[in-house]
Amino acid sequence: MGKPKQVSKLSDEEIKDEVRAAYARVAMTRRGSCCDKASSCSSDSLASRLGYDVDHLPASVTESFAGCGNPTALAELREGEVVMDLGSGAGLDAFLAAEKVGKTGRVIGIDMTSEMLQKARDNAVKLGVTNVEFRQGDIEALPVEDESVDVIISNCVINLAPDKSKVFREAFRVLRPGGRLLVSDMVLRGELPEEIRESIRSYTGCVAGAVPESEYLEMLREAGFEEVEVLERSGSGAVVSSKIKAVKPAA
């Protein structure tokens, strides 16, 4: 077995390759990687624990769920809205958002991992939904037009991006004036031991990439967002799940 890779010795692109490899495995082995922290966790029971109503969805949607909150429930989505899900995984939040925005609205899921995208697209066919589209892309460089989205949601993904400021600047760019962002994400409320910060397994498991909550909120403000607030927090210890809202000022 080779020496474990140290996060600080990897380039941003090498970190993304590790993240892709980890979530390709999640797509194929049906177990949420962010769940690795809780050994008895299965992804569909995780979704139920987080308050999702998933009984009407097939196992292929819930089995690779790897979220840390329920941003769709907090987003107060309305008929006709255009929603974008950053790091859409197997599609759970995207499909629930699609139900809320109805036929006059639409949802764009963005993910960089081919195996996850394939799973999400297969799920869309299985569910017969036509108002959801899954695009391959990096959330640090969104394949989406300026000012074309009403609401951005994201569930346990931005912690995995090496350049979070870029993600927030891109989110700001694609939102319409007055648009809102609702994310659940892992953030720090304490210090992580060095061996955890340097562990790539801990990074892909949504721990080592987490930044202090105050820094996360500041990066949102620097990108131009207003009304930046923490709506809820869950968990205890150094790394917790925060539900964060931010608004792009109206023109």
Ligand X SMILES: C[S@@+](CC[C@H](N)C(=O)[O-])C[C@H]1O[C@@H](n2cnc3c(N)ncnc32)[C@H](O)[C@@H]1O
Q: List contacts with ligand X (CB under 6 A).
A: 16, 19, 23, 33-34, 65-67, 87-89, 92-93, 110-113, 116, 138-140, 155-157, 160-161, 206
Q: Dihedral sign, CA of 70, 75, 78, 81?
A: negative
Distance CA 199, CA 196 (A): 5
- H or E element at residue 106: strand 106-111
Nearest distance, CB of residue 239 and ligand X, angstroms: 14
**Residue 199, by phi and psi: left (phi above 0), alpha (psi -120 to 50) or beta?**
beta
**Shortest reach from residue 209's CB to ligand X, in Å:** 9
Q: Which is nearer to ligand X, 157 or 246 (CB)?
A: 157
Nearest Cα neighbor of 152 from 185, 125, 179, 113 is 179
Taking the complex as a whole, the smallest distance from the CB of residue 111 to ligand X amounts, in Å, to 5
Provide the minimum distance between the beta carbon of 3 and ligand X in the complex, in angstroms, as a whole number.
Answer: 24
Q: Of 97 and 101, which CB lies nearer to ligand X in the complex structure?
A: 97
Which residue, 131 or 154, has its beta carbon nearer to ligand X?
Answer: 154
How far apart CA 144 and CA 37 sit, in angstroms, is 33
CA distances from 155 to 32, 91, 197 (A): 12, 11, 21
Nearer to ligand X, 2 or 203 (CB): 203
Q: CB nearer to ligand X: give 91 or 179.
A: 91
Q: How many CB atoms lie within 10 A of CB 147?
A: 14
The smaller minimum CB distance to ligand X, of residues 50 and 82, is found at: 50
Cα radius of gyration (the chain): 17
Cβ 86 to ligand X shortest distance, Å: 7
* Residue 96: closest CA among 105, 226, 119: 105
Q: CB of 100: closest distance to ligand X in angstroms?
A: 16
